[in-house]
Chain A
């Protein structure tokens, strides 16, 4: 149990880190295509070796995943097809072929075949200590590469053409990032499976983007979210019998995304809506004040009382905006009449200038 939790945590962390790059490169679907493309590799490795050794199957997955990646890149550069079409084509082609092989294997009289289909949805319970070690080593290498080439990764993600003109070998950086994404996906297949793997890559990164405007913090946050999903997901699935770990982990990650989309202070839907309403109310109030100012300035005494009735039908006017004006001490109300205070008059006079100043700051 501890091994499994540690494994899913490490997996979540690497996925988060590399997923940030995939999301920012607008290659979110690449992960999906690669993980599906890995399936025939697993089947072929099994057919050739005739045994279910995890490492050999994963090497098969790695090779076919890489072939899938090159196909996608090849299709987009050599033909008129857009990358989404190339991704979709490769994904379904490889996955279809993989399923075909799986069915073929299941009809073989080989006793070893059982359980090969766990790679579809993953089975964290099959994680052994040596698998976790492998994950930890890959995570370590990945972290070192990330720190060493941080500057190069960042500039390539932001502006690839410009990076080229500075004399950097963009192909090398590109291959480095993509290779690590492929390795990570392959490592995750055993736990999360071919079908849901891309969610592990994207969900933590998408959630992290909501909370920060710094690439460094985004990568760290994504790693934390990923590890958290791994730990909590494993915990939940262990506490309930027969809950599959992969899907639970993915659901936990998805909940983090949902929470982030709603509650993030700067980009979240909730705060944006609140800010929007606040702004609208304050503009309504200001418009009412400006309208009152227009009436009041025609009188010698600005505090001359007027009927509230005359405000009816004016766009910005509502009971609420009037009350707010009274609270701010801009206006006084006596029965059915209102009158402007000196403070309100001065504020209204400078209202437009103030607004112009606000938007320029």
Chain B
């Protein structure tokens, strides 16, 4: 029996200079799950996402999205980079950044019009940032900037969402708001992959988990594999978390 996977990764290996950052990763992520990737610093979590998205060229391995190559399926995939990866002093407004999410479907040269603007305003509304649409982006708080990035991905109307540490440096209110949106996405049948750091919230937020430390340690449903054994294997220290049932 062959199950249909949203994302399959085979033998993915990435190296920056001499040392491999990712070694022989195999992954099969089913459709419509909310998955987190956990692992220590330098485990290659962001690199895994970037390699799947073709931002970094892997040394070996293949990635397929719904059974076809990523290049063919690009329009089905949206990406939320780390908030710190861009210069927020760039001269532009919140609405303008969200509109960038429509550039992919527009293609070369064509400018966004009324339709794209409407979709962007709706995305801003969804993340609760509509009142800030004309705000210069440097004048937004860290949490608001994260919401803008999320809105930019929502506007792409994708089937798969990759998010690199969306909860980094945001307050509790924003974290709740974001996770609610992610849960809604899953409910709508979308697949969401999140690089995550806070192990305490894993069972509450996610239903699927991948343990990563250069190699893949384990991947599967949170309720089956999120245990001290896998955490110890991943983090290398004797790990004890209280998993709430």
Would A158 and B54 count as touching, CB distance under 8 A?
Answer: no
Determine the interface band of chain A, counting residues with CB < 8 A from chain B.
Answer: 20 to 34
Q: By CB atoms of chain B within 10 A, which of A155, A161, A164, A214 has the most?
A: A161
Residues in A neighbouring B109, C-beta threshold 8 A: 148-149, 151-152
Is B169 close to A, CB under 8 A?
A: no
Residues in B neighbouring A212, C-beta threshold 8 A: 91
Among the listed stretches A86-94, A165-173, A186-194, A243-251, which one makes contact with chain B, having 4 or more residues with CB under 8 Å of it?
A: A165-173
Would B103 and A155 count as touching, CB distance under 8 A?
Answer: yes
Is B245 close to A, CB under 8 A?
A: no
Would A165 and B55 count as touching, CB distance under 8 A?
Answer: yes
Is B238 close to A, CB under 8 A?
A: no
Residue in B closest to A170 when the chains form the complex, CB atoms: B55
Is A130 close to B, CB under 8 A?
A: no
Would A165 and B53 count as touching, CB distance under 8 A?
Answer: yes
**CA A161 – CA B104 in complex, angstroms?**
13
**CA A215 – CA B50 in complex, angstroms?**
28
Would A159 and B104 count as touching, CB distance under 8 A?
Answer: no
Which one, A26, A163, A165, A214, contacts B91 given CB within 8 A?
A214
Residues in A neighbouring B93, C-beta threshold 8 A: 213-214
Is B85 close to A, CB under 8 A?
A: yes
Residues in A neighbouring B92, C-beta threshold 8 A: 154, 158, 213-215
Output the least CB separation between A300 and chain B (Å): 43
Residue in A closest to B111 when the chains form the complex, CB atoms: A151
Would B90 and A161 count as touching, CB distance under 8 A?
Answer: no
Is A218 close to B, CB under 8 A?
A: yes
CB within 8 Å for A166 and B103 given contacts A151-B111, A213-B136: yes
**A:142-163 near B, CB below 8 Å:** 148-152, 154-155, 157-159, 161-163
Q: DSSP majority for the A interface?
A: helix
Residue in B closest to A361 when the chains form the complex, CB atoms: B131
Is B74 close to A, CB under 8 A?
A: yes
Is A333 close to B, CB under 8 A?
A: no
Is B166 close to A, CB under 8 A?
A: no
Would A165 and B79 count as touching, CB distance under 8 A?
Answer: yes
Residues in A neighbouring B152, C-beta threshold 8 A: 162
Residue in A closest to B56 when the chains form the complex, CB atoms: A161
**A:3-27 near B, CB below 8 Å:** 24, 26
Would B91 and A161 count as touching, CB distance under 8 A?
Answer: no
Output the least CB separation between A273 and chain B (Å): 19
- Which B residues are closer than 8 A to A by beta carbons? 17, 50, 53-55, 74-75, 77-79, 81, 85-87, 90-93, 97, 100, 103-104, 106-112, 136, 138, 152
5 CB contacts below 8 A, A to B, read A24-B90, A80-B17, A165-B74, A167-B107, A212-B91
Ranked nearest first, the 8 interchain pairs of A and B with the lowest CB-CB distance are A166-B104, A213-B136, A165-B79, A159-B86, A167-B74, A213-B91, A161-B55, A215-B91
Extra pairs beyond A161-B81, A166-B103 (20, CB < 8 Å): A24-B87, A151-B103, A151-B106, A151-B111, A151-B112, A152-B109, A158-B92, A159-B85, A162-B100, A164-B53, A164-B54, A164-B55, A165-B54, A165-B79, A165-B104, A168-B108, A214-B91, A214-B93, A215-B91, A215-B92
